[in-house]
Amino acid sequence: MFNGKRIMVTGGTGSFGNAFIDIVMKKYSPESIVVFSRDEKKQHDMRLSFNNPILRFVIGDVRDNESIDSAMRSVDFVFHAAALKQVPSCEFFPMQAVMTNIIGSNNVINTAIKNHVSKVVCLGTDKAVYPLNAMGMTKALMEKIVQAAARNNNNDTIITSVRYGNVMYSRDSVIPLFVQQIKNDSPLTITEPNMTRFMLSLEDAIDLVLFAFTKAKQGDIFIRKAPACTVLDTAVALKNIFKSNLSLKIIGIRHGEKIFETLMTKEELRRSEDEGDYYRIKMDNRDLNYDKYYTDGDPEESHLKDYTSHNTKRLTVEEVENLLLGLPEIQSILKKGGGDLFNNLCEIF
């Protein structure tokens, strides 16, 4: 599906961009891939790592419409991953989140329509559902921008989005933090023991994006079904893997943090389609004829519930261990560690 095509990945130097581009180049033969980001150091490292002439590195910012327009000319497909994603930093600097996640996304979508890009896939987050922090609020508005553009678009550009929770072992997430604390021989800091999170690997996230790319109709939102576990069970599983006896320290919830993740509201569930491992939420295509809202309401389906990390399949500690053992980062540590994993972990780092 990408053979001979020109692809652009905004925020392409991040975890998703690196893994996505690696998979695309191994499985397909694209004509070119534009890696668009504002981090020249990461671009330099990525250029050396991949060493592939089809990669075109462009320094730019989604906030700057001119830099996007220049990079997107003659592009067939856009994968929009550029965002401010850290909850605490967005809480302290909300206008920065607005400029990147809202205005920047609007720039990307409008430029794609202007340049007759065939498909745009925007990466969203569970935090956009019932948002209580600045990051979630700005990503929720990104979804609204996607929906509005899809609804009003008379162009051939298909605009869709995906929604997923925290990716295991992603930068600044809890799993590498716990590993680092084990390495430092310090207590594992837990915000709230019963806090739950969906357990999604980076490969699962990429599969979701590719599924959305192949299946999307105008304005669809796609969600990947996933199991969940508590933060406490994650910590215990890592202690078991590395044979650690370190204590656990409860520190309380961070700024703007949720007890559980919600990937889909019950209202969205009513207009969703079950696609096996995925949900497709069809675009709300109601028009601005307000009169019918007074006469034609939607029937309430009281049996429906939000799709959350509290009511999805809950993993046991043993199942969490097995899931973590499948992560490349954990496998790499274990291969280097040899017998006494805990002591050797300190030496590895």
Known catalytic residues are 127
How does DSSP classify residue 314?
Answer: B
Structure tokens at 25: 């180049």
Pair 186, 245: CB distance under 8 Å = no
How does DSSP classify residue 55?
Answer: E
User: Could you please report the per-residue DSSP string of 62-108?
Assistant: TT-HHHHHHHHTT-SEEEE------HHHHHH-HHHHIIIIIIIHHHH
Q: For 90, phi and psi rounded to 5 degrees? A: -70, -30
Q: Report long-range pairs for 56-60 (Cβ below 8 Å, ≥24 apart).
A: 56/32, 58/34, 60/36
User: Residue 270's CB: how many other CB atoms inside 10 A?
Assistant: 13
